[in-house]
Amino acid sequence: MGNTQHFLDNYWRTPILYGLWSRNRVTRRYWTTFHRQIHFEEIFNERLRRDDLDLLQERRDNAQEKLECYQQKMAHYYNKNVKSPSFRVGDLVLRKVFLSSQEPSVGTQGPNWEGLYRVTAEVVPGTYRIEDLFGKPIPHPWNTEHLCRYYQ
């Protein structure tokens, strides 16, 4: 009987179970201090905090410059693979239907493109002046993304 009691006493005094059983005592006994706690100086810390506040706007500016550079690279990467259609003077095109110019009775089942128009001039690359087939000009120029080539 004495041997089993001795075994149980040693079993419960193993380091792992002892640490779990008496956690508070162990942490008080082996209290560790960190380097920052030992070498903390309030005046020096206050000076570093003020320097960080002074440099905060500079960090924001640097982050904004990096963001703009990244956006320019992404736009260049995207735009180099996009090929917009080009039209010549005299080509026949269709114009995209917008909600403001769509008939209210048509609903969602209406046509996506309307009319038949002729390209009269290229204002800048990708922007064109158009007129209907009777020669009546449309008042403002149209971008290629709102025009579709009409094939006969």
CA distance 142 to 127: 5
The mean pLDDT value of the chain amounts to 79
Is residue 128 pLDDT above 80, yes or no? Answer: yes
In a domain, 86, yes or no: no
pLDDT in tens, 12-24: 555 555 555 555 5
Would you say residue 64 lies in a domain?
yes
Is there a single domain that holds both residue 50 and residue 17?
A: no
Closest CA to 117 of 89, 94, 86: 94
- Lookup result for tokens 């419960």: 12
Please check whether residue 84 lies inside any domain of the structure.
Answer: no
Predicted pLDDT of residue 32? 63
Distance CA 17, CA 38 (A): 32
Whether residues 22 and 55 share a domain: the answer is: no
Q: For residue 26, what are its two tokens?
A: 């162990």
Above 60 in pLDDT, residue 2? no
Domain count, the chain: 3
CATH label of the domain that carries residue 124: 2.30.30
Q: Is the pTM of this model over 0.85?
A: no
Long-range pairs for 35-42 at CB < 8 Å and ≥24 separation? none
Using CA atoms, how far apart are residues 88 and 134, in angstroms rounded to an integer?
Answer: 19
